[in-house]
Structure 1
Amino acid sequence: MSQNNVLKGVFLVALGATSYGMLATFVKMAYTEGYTTAEVTTSQFVLGIIGILIINAFQKIKHKENVVKASPKNIFNLMLAGTSLGMTSLFYYLAVKYIPVSIGIVLLMQTVWMGVLLEMILEKKLPSKQKVVAVLIVLAGTVLATNIINNDITLDWRGIGWGVLAAASFTTTMFTANHVATEISSAQRSLYMLLGGAVIVFSFALFTQVTPFNLNIFVKWGIILALFGTIIPPMLMTAGFPLTGIGLGSIVSAIELPVSVMM
């Protein structure tokens, strides 16, 4: 793969991670207004799917016959892979319900070493020294940037558990973005992955939402959550990860940390 393609992949993954880094703050703000996890995730995925459908429609009109259509096997595999996208959102949003955003992002950043480890297992070779050093720097920087050592924080183990699960699920999402149906457009891949994630999110909402669903969430927070959570990141990451690989891509995705801290 050419150096230009790798750099392009790094740029796309970095932009996607930057967008994703803004999410936790918006979710916390929605929580303070009384919205539930089910309402937050449902609005995000519903509006996200609508947005991706519009993007696919424009691409189909623009490229017409040149668009490679997804096969039934592609659709099934992408929807199955997309369940990890839904679980990442649920686990991460549940985590920041119990712990500060700074701790949540530290836990999500465990995808850095998880991604490198997964790549090592799949490719059956040790990671390069550069990747190992990069992982150590990112993890050390994560701790320093969030200042968790000097903060007197009482941690809720429910939040820790959900955060670790979010990291594991996000690592799975990065793997699928790098391997599944890479021959079709990123817009199509994002759509079917979102549909798979929606199955998880809607099931969660169905079984946990005990109060009447507050439809105001769609207007108040749904659009911004969809834009920064289910439209921009999947589109850019499904386009970028096949160019960077899991290991490098997971390291680059750590850029969401400074974004989250600044937010």
Structure 2
Amino acid sequence: MKSTWLYPLLIIIAASSYGILSTIVKVAMQHGFTSAEAVTSQYVFGFGLALLLFLVTQRSLPKLTKPGILTLLFAGIFTAITGIVYGQALNYLPASLAVVMLFQFTWIGLFMDCVIKRRLPSRLEVISLLFLFAGTILAAGVLDADLSQIAWQGWALGMAAAVSFASFLQINSRTVEGVTTIGRTFILATISLVVILTFLTPEILWNGQLTAGLWKFGILLGTFGIILPILLFSIASPKVGGGLTSILSAMELPVAIIVSVIVLHEALTVMQIAGIFLVLIGMILPSYFTKKKYAN
């Protein structure tokens, strides 16, 4: 009985932590750092925190099977790719709209889950997506805003981030035998750091940017963008499944919009508030009926 609400709650908390990232990156940019530097610091400090947890709790790497190695490898790669393209999207999009583009992972992830499992979406999943779509349009302020001035690169990078994040959720929902949650987090943080240092700005390790204040943003980004979500997704996603994980992760959108309003003072209209409520309804429906089903 406990698991019917516990694991969905962990997914919601993990998704909420992702919702904070865009605002932290925007604040770092206001302090003179680039989005690439902020994202790189996220993975540097995320790796450091994951390494500390790993050394304190176990210290020895697990013995993995070939399928387990491939699962962790691709999960780590897609974690890094999401950070790279999402960070670049913030160069072209306001924080709230960037999150809306990333939010497209909900229907993309459900589509992937249906293809992988060779099934059609359930009626409840379709109803939830309709609420999520309507809520997304309203919450983004698309109906009131002039979007013609936004460069195509912003739309393309936002959609690429959505596809990458949906891929991460699907892959990370697979169980890997013989590895603990902290061990899994450390392995994913290591793989993603290698990718990030290859394609972004490894020079922050020696050019003095970290000691110039970037470290403050790196710790926050590493905690909310690496440690917390990977730990919680690794615990809960295999229990919940890829389709429901994508829907529950919709919590990222209202959290991101609310935080951007509070911190960045972005405008919030009544229509956006209505959109947030629709998103919450679409997110809650599957968990509510699943819990009701088990209760009966």
**TM-score, normalization by structure 1:** 0.89
Aligned to 1:37: 35
| Alignment of 1:185 onto 2:180 | yes
One-letter code of the match for 1:17? A
Distance in 2 separating the partners of 1:180 and 1:217: 39
Aligned to 1:260: 256
Give the paired residue count. 255
Distance in 2 separating the partners of 1:51 and 1:89: 17
Distance in 1 separating the partners of 2:120 and 2:50: 37
| Alignment of 1:233 onto 2:229 | yes
For 1:15-164, what aligned pairs fall within 5 Å after superposition?
15-60=13-58, 69-71=62-64, 73=66, 74-75=68-69, 77-153=71-147, 154-164=149-159
Distance in 1 separating the partners of 2:240 and 2:4: 5
Pair 1:20–1:178, CA change in 2 (3 A): same
Distance in 2 separating the partners of 1:134 and 1:183: 35
Q: Percent identity?
A: 31
RMSD of equivalent CA atoms: 2.3
SS of corresponding position for 1:179? coil
Pair 1:117–1:213, CA change in 2 (3 A): farther
- C-alpha deviation, 1:38, in angstroms: 2.9
| Alignment of 1:195 onto 2:179 | no
- C-alpha deviation, 1:235, in angstroms: 0.7
Distance in 2 separating the partners of 1:257 and 1:51: 26
One-letter code of the match for 2:84? L
Q: Which runs of 5+ in 1 are unaligned?
A: 62-66
One-letter code of the match for 2:103? M
Pair 1:145–1:188, CA change in 2 (3 A): same
Return 114-123 or 6-15, whichever deviates more.
6-15
One-letter code of the match for 1:14? I
Distance in 2 separating the partners of 1:92 and 1:226: 15
Aligned to 2:216: 220
SS of corresponding position for 1:97? coil
One-letter code of the match for 1:246? G
- C-alpha contact 1:95 1:163 (8 A) present in aligned 2: yes
Q: Which runs of 5+ in 2 are unaligned?
A: 260-296
SS of corresponding position for 1:155? coil
One-letter code of the match for 1:198? L
SS of corresponding position for 2:74? helix
- C-alpha deviation, 1:50, in angstroms: 1.2
Distance in 1 separating the partners of 2:12 and 2:177: 19
Distance in 2 separating the partners of 1:245 and 1:213: 43
SS of corresponding position for 1:188? helix
Distance in 2 separating the partners of 1:88 and 1:200: 11
Distance in 2 separating the partners of 1:159 and 1:170: 16
Distance in 2 separating the partners of 1:182 and 1:30: 39
